[in-house]
C-alpha cells in the first residue's frame, strides 16, 4: 500500500495538471522579435524555430533558436528571451558569445568576426560598455580601456542596440 501511494504521488506531481515544464519541445515564433507569440504550430520557412526546454508555453531553460535567415542562438532562455549564457552565430561566421539579459548582450561577452577582429569585454543593454579589449586581425591596433555605451557598427549592419540578432531583431 505504501508503494502504491508513493507511485500515485509521483504520477500526480509529474502531471501537466500540476506543472507545464517540458524538455525537447519545438515552438515557432509568430510575429516580430522580441514580441513573439510562441506556438506549437508553424513552418520553418516562415517562422523562427525554437527547440529546447519549455515552461508555460514559452522557451525557458536550455534551447536553440534559429531565425529565418539562418542566424542561430544556442543557450539559456527565460520567459521566451535569451537570458543567461549563450552563443549567437551568423551564417557568414560573425558571432557573439557571453552574457544575455532580456534578449540583449549583457555582462561579459566576446564579439568576433571571421577575419579575426575581436572585442572582449563588458556589455550593457546590447552595447559595449565598461572594460574591454578590441583587437584586429593584423595585430596593428589593440585598444584596452573603458567604454561607455559604444554602439556596435560591425558586420555592415547598423546594430544600434544589438538586441538579439542583426538590426536588433531575431526574425
Asked if residue 34 has a cis previous peptide bond (ω within 30° of 0), the answer is yes
Return the minimum-mean-pLDDT range out of 1-15, 35-49, 73-87. 1-15
Per the CB < 8 A criterion, the answer to whether 74 and 87 are in contact is yes
Report how far residue 89's alpha carbon sits from residue 165's, in angstroms, rounded to the nearest whole number.
Answer: 9
Report how far residue 168's alpha carbon sits from residue 139's, in angstroms, rounded to the nearest whole number.
Answer: 30
Cell triple for 137: 586581425
| Backbone torsions φ then ψ of 116, nearest 5 degrees | 115, -5
Question: Model pTM greater than 0.85?
Answer: no
pLDDT tens digits along 100-152: 999 999 999 999 999 999 999 999 999 988 888 888 888 756 666 665 555 45
Helices (H), the chain: 2-13
Report how far residue 80's alpha carbon sits from residue 59's, in angstroms, rounded to the nearest whole number.
Answer: 4
- Report the topology of domain 20-150: 2.20.110
Amino acid at each position: 500500500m505504501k508503494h502504491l501511494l508513493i507511485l500515485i504521488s509521483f504520477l500526480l506531481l509529474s502531471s501537466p495538471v500540476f506543472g507545464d515544464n517540458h524538455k525537447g519541445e519545438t515552438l515557432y515564433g509568430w510575429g516580430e522579435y522580441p514580441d513573439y507569440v510562441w506556438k506549437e504550430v508553424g513552418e520553418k520557412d516562415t517562422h523562427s524555430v525554437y527547440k529546447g526546454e519549455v515552461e508555460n508555453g514559452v522557451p525557458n531553460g536550455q534551447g536553440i533558436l534559429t531565425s529565418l535567415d539562418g542566424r542561430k542562438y544556442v543557450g539559456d532562455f527565460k520567459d521566451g528571451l535569451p537570458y543567461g549564457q549563450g552563443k549567437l552565430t551568423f551564417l557568414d561566421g560573425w558571432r557573439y558569445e557571453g552574457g544575455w539579459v532580456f534578449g540583449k548582450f549583457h555582462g561579459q561577452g566576446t564579439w568576433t568576426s571571421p577575419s579575426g577582429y575581436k572585442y572582449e569585454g563588458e556589455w550593457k543593454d546590447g552595447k559595449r560598455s565598461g572594460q574591454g579589449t578590441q583587437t584586429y586581425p593584423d595585430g596593428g591596433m589593440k585598444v584596452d580601456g573603458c567604454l561607455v555605451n559604444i554602439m556596435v557598427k560591425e558586420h555592415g549592419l547598423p546594430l544600434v542596440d544589438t538586441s538579439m540578432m542583426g538590426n536588433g531583431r531575431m526574425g
